[in-house]
Structure 1
Amino acid sequence: MPRGFFITFEGLDGSGKTTQLRRLATSLAAEGHHVVTLRQPGGTALGDRIRGVLLDSRSEASLGPIDPIAELTLMFADRAQAIAEVIQPALAAGSIVLCDRFTDSSEAYQGGGRQLGSDRVLALHTAVCGTLQPDLTLLLLPPLEASLARARRRNHRNTQTHGTDENRFERESDEFYGRIHNAYRRIAEREPTRVITIAENHTIEEIEKIIHQIVAQQLPATLPTSQASTLEA
């Protein structure tokens, strides 16, 4: 069985990456590819527990302040479980794996935003993920102000409508997010072959078309196809 293809979506909250991941999953499945989707943190039973701790703005009220190193290592604990339970088995089965965030997020948010530096994050990646790297990373990086405004409106709406509260990061300062935005740009400059940046503030439909063209050019012809199916971890 040929190895599958690993695509990650990166960007600030509010960049539209989750919407585009879902749209790509639907179109790839319609073309007969077997698609597995997941998010980080999350995507496994353990990962969902970790997600609750890291993203819920009420966590620190009960747990106290989360140290940046603890935050980083929890992100990689989630990643280790996702690799073992979801990503590696899916790739071994020839599936296309679409992941909402991976190590680039840790480098941007903890390395840049929390100012822990890239070297520490990349060393953890080597220790936890080994040689596993995405085959393609789609970095959605519209203007900072637009992303933040969308993310904060969305999280407020979800809190009011569903009672979910994943606002812990959204409460951070604009300077924090400026460092993340800059870190993402540095990652893209360092790895231009893997990371493709979509920085324009296009419509959802326009971005979907751009992404479909990028992916169509990079998918190996050897990937198996069958009856349309999409699995979500």
Structure 2
Amino acid sequence: MRGTLIVLEGTDGSGKATQAKLLLRELAARGVNCREIDFPRYGNPFAEPANLYLHGALGGRPGDVNACAASVMFAVDRFASYKEDWGGFYEAGGVVVANRYTTSNAVHQASKLRPEERRSFLDWLFDLEYRRLGLPEPDRVLYLDMPTEAANRLMRRREAETNTAADIHEQDGDYLRRCRECAGEIARTQGWAVVNCAGDGVPRTPEDIHREVLAIVLDCLSR
């Protein structure tokens, strides 16, 4: 019996982790058998290539590693996580909420390419992860659309509060703007649900965004 896979996607600083926690808490309160997965899995050996890429060991800018090479690093971690961790839960009918998924490769890596190259890249990517590696396709993808300037402010505050350093994606404002532009295009063509996380450049409260996210997810689970 196949489960349900809900993916929360968005550029860095869009609030995915917060929304995942709020969503899991509400679903559990409603008696839904659910759990969260989060990528990349920092500290797991299968995530180490992606970790090295994100922290500059393979080049100080995102474009120093091409879209396909970077995608494979993240895909390996995802495949291993399915085999090691959550595959059995999903296959037994559980509801899985993913903070990032194959969709992150789509957003972050397609943005490195010229617009006319993106369609063929996405075809390659989805064939790699969903068919050749056998990972489940999402039942619903929710794209949390946060303006880049607002996301940057939130990321800087998070870094100060947690005493952490930004990775090469988070450090590059131009790259994040391209990711957001690319994500809007992909969301339209792939049928993702777009949740606008700010009005007039001012972020909505997490609770307000959560209500919209929850409504979309409950509709998906009711089908």
TM-score, with length taken from structure 2: 0.82
Q: Distance in 2 between matches of 1:13 and 1:35?
A: 24
What residue number does 1:154 align with? 158
Which residue, out of 119, 126, 140, partners 1:136?
140
Structure 1 segment 1-233 matched on structure 2, within 5 A: 2-42=1-41, 45-57=44-56, 59-60=57-58, 67-68=65-66, 69-113=68-112, 117-130=118-131, 132-158=136-162, 160=163, 164-172=164-172, 174-192=173-191, 195-201=192-198, 202-220=204-222
State the partner residue of 2:201. none
TM-score (norm 1): 0.79
CA distance in 1 between partners of 2:138 and 2:59 (Å): 36
Q: Deviations over 1:74-114 (max 9, x none)?
A: 11111221233334322211111011111221111111146
Aligned length: 210
- Could you list the structure 1 runs, at least 4 aligned residues long, displaced by more than 4 angstroms after superposition: none
Is the 1:104–1:184 Cα contact (8 Å) retained in structure 2? no
Return closer, same or farther for 1:19/1:49 CA change in 2, 3 Å cut-off. Answer: same
Q: Which sections of structure 1, spanning at least 5 residues, go unmatched?
A: 222-233
Cα distance, 1:31–1:75 mapped onto 2, change above 3 Å: same
**Counterpart code for 1:95:** G
Contact preservation (8 Å) 1:29, 1:35: yes
Check whether the contact 2:14–2:197 (CA below 8 A) recurs between aligned residues. Answer: no
The SS at the match of 2:14 is: coil
**Is the 8 Å Cα contact of residues 9 and 144 (structure 2) preserved in structure 1?**
yes
Question: 1:198: how far off?
Answer: 0.7
Shift of 1:196: 0.5
* Partner-residue secondary structure (3-state), 2:165: coil
Alignment check: 8 A CA contact 2:106 2:125 kept: no
CA drift of 1:191 comes to 2.1
Aligned partners of 1:205, 1:79: CA distance in 2, in Å? Answer: 29
Give 1:40's aligned amino acid.
F
1:112–1:118 CA contact under 8 A, matched in 2: no
Partner of 1:230: none
Q: 1:137 is paired with a residue of what secondary structure?
A: strand
Question: What secondary structure is seen at the aligned counterpart in 2 of 1:138?
Answer: strand
Please state how far the C-alpha of 1:73 moved relative to its aligned partner.
1.6
Distance 1:135 1:73, change over 3 A: same
Q: Which ranges in structure 2 are unaligned for 5 or more consecutive residues?
A: 199-203
The share of aligned pairs that are identical, in percent, is 25
